[in-house]
Amino acid sequence: MSDSIKNFTRTKRACYYTYLAMSSIFSLPPLLFVTFREMYGISYTLLGTLVLINFCTQLVIDLVFTFFSKYFNIKLTIKIMPLLTSLGLTLYALVPTFFPQYAYAGFVAGTVIFSVAAGLCEVLLSPLVAAIPSKTPEKDMSMLHSLYAYGVVTVVLVSTLFLKVFGTQNWMYLTLFWAVLPIVSFVLFSTSPMPEMNLSEENSSVKKKKRPSAMWLCVLCIFFGSAAENAMTNWISGYMENALRIPKAVGDILGMAVFAILLGLGRTAYAKHGKNISNVLLAGMAGAFVCYLTAGLVPNAIVATLACVLTGLCTSMLWPGTLILMEEKFPAPGVAAYALMAAGGDLGGSIAPQLLGAVVDKVSVSGWAASFAPNLSITTEQLGMKVGMLTASAFPFFGVLILILIKRYSQKSKARG
């Protein structure tokens, strides 16, 4: 191992730990929504708005860094990012506890702050890992993103056990526990060397005029990949419970938990043995398309369940893999390019679940569903969910088309020399 690689080992580990710790931002709030409704009388609509606030805040951060990254002290921003996470989670826990009449305001304030940290994490950690000297940069990137999935599983299991043992009325202590973990990230980043990162927009892939279409194809690829992943992530539990009639506890464990485990295993496998990222992405998109079709069309609950959880494996490399693909097409792409990619991913992650939900609601109350559902011996809600799954299959389908275009574009570029 060279001295330059050795010097940044601690930095790389800090990135890995931070990605693991940040998973609480996404997986903890949904676990507490029912508790919030019971304790504070907050409607499901307002609770759902917190999810929208989370995604929109991250999207704003993505866009800010896409066009204005050169105005930021990146190394300082990385160091304070974990403290923002802790501050957001602490407000999330303490404002409703001490001022229950302003509970929702506390949730909104906490969500905005830790969503800023989440946006910074997506925008900055990937280029930081890419900038660290390494013999296997692709595998490092895949390992970074695999830790998010393992973090989700850990947060779900630990939080479920805590709430079961100590009761949902003590949810604020659980939140404060997750708020402490990012402080370790602050210590690690404060005591680790930082590699030089490309902040020049003039040299960035976003600003280059030579191959702008290839960059936008990569943005579309991560959009459809994130949409394919997050549509199932947000709906797998409800789909298994309502459409497949699987008990909620079983659906949560066999659904969300196994989905996240397969998501992590796919990324870990690529980190250890992966190559030919274009083929991996194409296989993942095609596999996700088949899984969505199977989940929506096959009446057998076991087969449909397998299709739902296998989507986790198929979509595992679609986000980090597209970043790797971008790095292949554009060496030293710069923070702005990573921010633009994160914006595409966050946009896909926010649009897809909402579109699927809108389709379910629309179909469930339609006249043709009322007349057609009895022929299949299912309810209109079940039919709506199946149609929603079939609609969501469009995301990986278009992802396949985009990847084919990227391959053809690369072949033409090579032919032109």
Of the listed ranges 47-51, 57-61, 213-217, the least confidently predicted one is 47-51
CA distance 213 to 187: 41
Q: Decide if pLDDT at 207 tops 70.
A: no
CA distance 1 to 14: 19
Q: What is the DSSP string of 157-171?
A: HHHHHHHHHH-GGGH
% the chain with pLDDT above 70: 92
CA distance 13 to 245: 42
pLDDT score of 339 = 84
User: What is the average pLDDT across 352-356?
Assistant: 84
User: What is the average pLDDT across 116-131?
Assistant: 90
Give pLDDT tens digits for 59-114.
899 888 878 878 888 889 999 999 999 999 999 999 999 999 999 999 999 999 99
CA distance 405 to 255: 33
Give pLDDT tens digits for 360-406.
888 988 999 999 989 988 989 889 889 999 999 999 999 999 999 99
Of the listed ranges 3-17, 347-361, 365-379, the least confidently predicted one is 3-17
* Structural fold of domain 1-137+168-196: Growth Hormone; Chain: A; (1.20.1250)
Residue 168 exposed, middle or buried by CB count within 10 Å (0-12, 13-18, 19+): middle
Q: Which residue has the higher pLDDT, 253 or 91?
A: 91
CATH superfamily ID and name for 198-417: MFS general substrate transporter like domains (1.20.1250.20)
Average pLDDT, the chain: 86
pLDDT level of residue 44 (50, 70, 90 thresholds): low
Each domain of the chain, given as residue ranges in start order, spans 1-137+168-196, 198-417
Phi, psi of 403 (to 5 degrees): -65, -35
CA distance 212 to 344: 15
Cβ contacts of residue 368 below 8 Å, gap of 6+? Answer: none
**For residue 323, which of 232, 414, 229, 225 has the smallest C-alpha distance?**
225
Q: CA torsion angle for 328, 332, 334, 337 (degrees, to 10)?
A: -20
Q: Do domains 1-137+168-196 and 198-417 have the same CATH topology?
A: yes
Q: Decide if pLDDT at 209 tops 50.
A: no
Q: CA torsion angle for 241, 244, 246, 249 (degrees, to 10)?
A: -30
pLDDT score of 416 = 62
Q: Decide if pLDDT at 136 tops 50.
A: yes
Q: Which residue has the higher pLDDT, 335 or 321?
A: 321
Residue positions counted in the chain:
417
Give pLDDT tens digits for 263-309.
999 998 988 887 889 999 999 999 999 999 999 999 898 899 999 99
pLDDT score of 205 = 47
Q: What separation in angstroms does the CA of 208 have from each of 205, 253, 330, 331?
A: 5, 46, 10, 12
Name the token pair of 280: 């991996």
pLDDT level of residue 169 (50, 70, 90 thresholds): very high
